[in-house]
């Protein structure tokens, strides 16, 4: 772990095994941080804050730009670590993720000087201006599905704004982030970034309730997000939550083509085994194209190569761990047990053969699914897509919005009026039209409803989530 600029183990020497989910073998051990380690890290961050908060913003940004360069030079090493620990395929996921994280450091390094305040015209005899001040020690917690880019995002936003932070990596995928923390440690003063590895209930919970933590930033499940919000409420600290989703992809009759099929596959994040908060996992297809679109979709999905995440030829790797694998299989079993459901492609994973060596699940698409069924309502976080027909666009929008989540959505039509009317009617923090891409730095990102609170990924998100406004009024009389 990285605490106060030092590479350290847990104070009691305990460790966690890190497994490669494609082979089910242990590939590393990392420290299992407990309460004492959390306290050490938070104290270090609190000490570093006194100096870091005063560093000129562009100087803070310059250090982040150095981190970006150092990380870019190590792209391959970090990407291979991520592929091995997450099971995410190197070509389609792990390498693009690391490049995305470099881009995040560059973006926030570049905008660090934009922490501008305002002057307020209260009259000729008073000067009133505002300052964007950092909040203090940020306690940040990230999940395993895109560990490096999500971790980079917390670090870059918090540090550019003049905060210091203690970041907890996910227990299943700490290796790539440990490497990134080491690179950050070479550019940032000791204590500005502290990285802990440990379990959620031990290390994460201790971080969330530490009295010196002045801001909580969490990315993960809605269930744990609720606990984090309780911890924030106990001490009245601001909180940012990036939580789960069950995002709709609405396809209109004029978009039944290969471009849409590829976009739906990309939006569903099939090549990340569907393990994405923004996965477009509810496919709402116009009835007139229902069968034709599913035929094209399954034909395309059969071409995806599933296997060794470190192999450049692989499109789709393995599910993160046994618990998630069992959970995804339980949802597939639930769908298979429904007499009305039709499996368009996929199903339960093979019990024999090379894919049985790891936690591999094939792309699975169900048709004949009721909108109210569990597989259509709950976040599966696996490569399982449900297809539901509609006839009236108002029904499509009603189904899209009939969810306690509201993170992302996808609209597929070549008609601009229909596209924008639908985009505006959908209750989601992010709607993509005719594309199924990932986030870009600069775009404010975050959820409606139970998908989260606050925005990240942009200058505006950094200002809102990682600074506090101070007003100063001065008498000129």
CB of 344: closest distance to ligand NAD in angstroms? 24
Closest distance to ligand NAD from the beta carbon of 430 (Å): 10
Judge whether 285 and 388 are in contact, CB under 8 Å: yes
**Residue 214 within binding range of ligand NAD, rule CB under 6 A:** no
Contact code string over 156-185 relative to ligand NAD, x by CB under 6 A: ------------x-xx--------------
Tell me: does residue 392 bind ligand NAD (CB under 6 A).
no
Question: Under the criterion CB under 6 A, does residue 202 sit at the interface with ligand NAD?
Answer: no
Q: Is 220 in the site for ligand NAD (CB under 6 A)?
A: yes
Smallest distance, Å, CB 8 to ligand NAD? 19
Residue among 379, 426, 448, 453 that touches ligand NAD (CB under 6 A): 379
State which residue, 174 or 389, has the beta carbon closest to ligand NAD: 174
277 is catalytic: yes
Question: By CB under 6 A, is residue 307 in contact with ligand NAD?
Answer: no
Q: Is 37 in the site for ligand NAD (CB under 6 A)?
A: no
Give whichever of 389 and 447 is closer to ligand NAD, judged by the CB atom: 447
Q: Which is nearer to ligand NAD, 225 or 307 (CB)?
A: 225
* Window 341 to 360, contacts with ligand NAD (CB under 6 A): none
Contacts with ligand NAD by CB under 6 A: the residue count is: 30
Q: Counting contacts by CB under 6 A, is residue 195 touching ligand NAD?
A: no
Q: Can you tell me which of 10, 243, 264, 265 binds ligand NAD, judged by CB under 6 A?
A: 243
Considering the candidates 97, 171, 242, 456, report the single residue annotated as catalytic: 242
Sole binder of ligand NAD in the list 21, 31, 244, 248 (CB under 6 A): 244
Catalytic residue list contains 352:
no
Interaction between residue 1 and ligand NAD (CB under 6 A): no
Q: By rule CB under 6 A, what string of x and - marks binding of each residue 245-284 to ligand NAD?
A: x-------------------------------x-------
**Could you list the residues that contact ligand NAD (CB under 6 A)?**
141-145, 150, 168, 170-171, 199-201, 204-205, 208, 219-221, 224, 227, 242-245, 277, 379, 381, 407, 447, 452
- Enzyme catalytic residues: 242, 277
């Amino acid at each position: 772990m990285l605490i106060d600029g030092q590479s350290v183990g847990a104070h009691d020497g305990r460790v966690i095994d890190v497994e490669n989910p494609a082979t089910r073998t242990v590939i590393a051990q990392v420290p299992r941080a407990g309460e004492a380690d959390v306290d050490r890290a938070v104290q270090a961050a609190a000490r570093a804050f006194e100096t870091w908060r005063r560093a000129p913003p562009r100087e803070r940004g310059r250090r982040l730009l150095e981190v970006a360069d150092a990380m870019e030079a190590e792209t391959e090493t970090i990407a291979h670590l991520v592929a091995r620990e997450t099971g995410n395929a190197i070509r389609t996921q792990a390498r693009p993720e690391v490049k995305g994280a470099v881009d995040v450091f560059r973006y926030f390094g570049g905008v660090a000087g934009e922490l501008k305040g305002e002057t307020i015209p209260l009259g000729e005899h008073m000067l009133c201006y505002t300052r964007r001040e950092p909040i203090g020690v940020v306690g940040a917690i990230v999940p395993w599905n895109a560990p490096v880019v999500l971790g980079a995002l917390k670090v870059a936003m918090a540090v550019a704004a003049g905060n210091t932070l203690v970041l907890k990596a996910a227990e299943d995928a700490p290796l790539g982030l440990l490497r990134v923390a080491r690179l950050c440690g070479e550019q940032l003063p000791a204590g500005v970034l502290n990285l802990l590895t440990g379990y959620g209930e031990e290390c994460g919970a201790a971080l969330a309730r530490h009295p010196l933590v002045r801001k909580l930033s969490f990315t993960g499940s809605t269930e744990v997000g609720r606990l984090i919000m309780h911890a924030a409420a106990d001490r009245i600290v601001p909180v940012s939550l990036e939580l789960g989703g069950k995002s709709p992809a609405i396809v209109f009759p004029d978009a039944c083509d290969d471009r849409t099929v590829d976009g739906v596959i990309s939006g569903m994040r099939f090549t990340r085994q569907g393990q994405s908060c923004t996965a477009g996992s509810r496919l709402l297809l116009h009835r007139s194209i229902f069968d034709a679109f599913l035929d094209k979709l399954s034909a395309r999905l059969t071409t995806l190569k599933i296997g060794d995440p470190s192999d450049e030829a692989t499109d789709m790797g393995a599910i993160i761990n046994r618990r998630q694998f069992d959970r995804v299989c339980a949802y597939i079993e639930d769908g298979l047990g429904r007499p009305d459901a039709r499996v368009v492609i996929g199903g339960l994973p093979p019990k024999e053969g090379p894919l049985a060596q790891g936690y591999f699940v094939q792309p699975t698409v169900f048709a004949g699914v009721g909108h109210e069924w569990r597989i259509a309502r709950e976040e599966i976080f696996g490569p399982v897509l449900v297809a539901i027909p509609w006839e009236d666009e108002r029904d499509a929008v009603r189904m899209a919005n009939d969810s306690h989540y509201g993170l992302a959505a996808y609209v597929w039509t070549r008609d601009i009026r229909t596209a924008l009317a639908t985009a505006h009617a959908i209750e989601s923090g992010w709607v993509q039209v005719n594309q199924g891409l990932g986030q870009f730095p600069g775009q404010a990102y975050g959820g409606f409803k139970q998908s989260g609170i606050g925005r990240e990924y942009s200058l505006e998100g950094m200002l809102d989530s990682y600074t506090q406004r101070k007003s100063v009024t001065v008498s000129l009389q």
